[in-house]
């Protein structure tokens, strides 16, 4: 339990150690390339760089995956990949 607490607290400790006193949340629409671009600009303007990008965009459905038709499955996969690309692309060097 103590190890888990240390792991969970480590970001806060590093956050304070590096002189950052606020937590930040940047909202974006993962289906919108312009929203992803705007979010990236806000992050760069605030922090000057991005060291790590954790892309946690995910599509879910009320239909159990086992009940998906082939068309439903293809649409789900396409949407998942599209969101991955939309959110990640602004951070990739040209």
CB 18 within 8 A of CB 51: no
Segments forming the whole domain that contains residue 76: 23-91
The answer to whether residue 36 is domain-embedded is yes
Tell me whether residue 11 is in a domain: no
- Tell me how far the alpha carbon of residue 30 is from its chain's centroid: 9
- Structurally, the chain folds into a number of domains equal to 1
Q: Kindly give the residue spans of alpha helices, DSSP state H, lying in 25-69.
A: 33-47
The answer to whether residue 9 sits within a structural domain is no
Question: Does residue 71 lie in a domain region?
Answer: yes
Residue 63 domain-assigned (yes or no): yes
**Is 86 inside a domain boundary?**
yes
Residue 70: how many other CB atoms lie within 10 Å: 7
What is the per-residue pLDDT across 66-86, written as a single tens digit (0 to 9) for each? 888 888 888 888 888 888 888
Residue-wise pLDDT for 16-72, tens only, equals 555 555 666 788 888 899 998 998 899 888 888 888 887 776 666 777 778 888 888
The pTM for the full model equals 0.61
The tokens describing 61, both together, are 């459905």
Query: What gap in Å lies between CA 88 and CA 85, rounded to an integer?
Result: 5
The verdict on residue 1 lying in a domain is no
């Amino acid at each position: 339990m103590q190890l888990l607490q240390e792991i969970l607290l480590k970001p806060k400790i590093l956050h304070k150690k590096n002189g950052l006193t606020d937590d930040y949340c940047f909202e974006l629409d993962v289906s919108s390339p312009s929203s992803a671009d705007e979010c990236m600009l806000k992050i760069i303007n605030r922090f000057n760089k991005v060291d790590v990008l954790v892309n946690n965009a995910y599509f879910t459905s009320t239909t159990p995956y086992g009940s998906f038709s082939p068309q439903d499955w293809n649409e789900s996969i396409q949407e998942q990949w599209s969101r991955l690309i939309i959110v990640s692309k602004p951070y990739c060097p040209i």
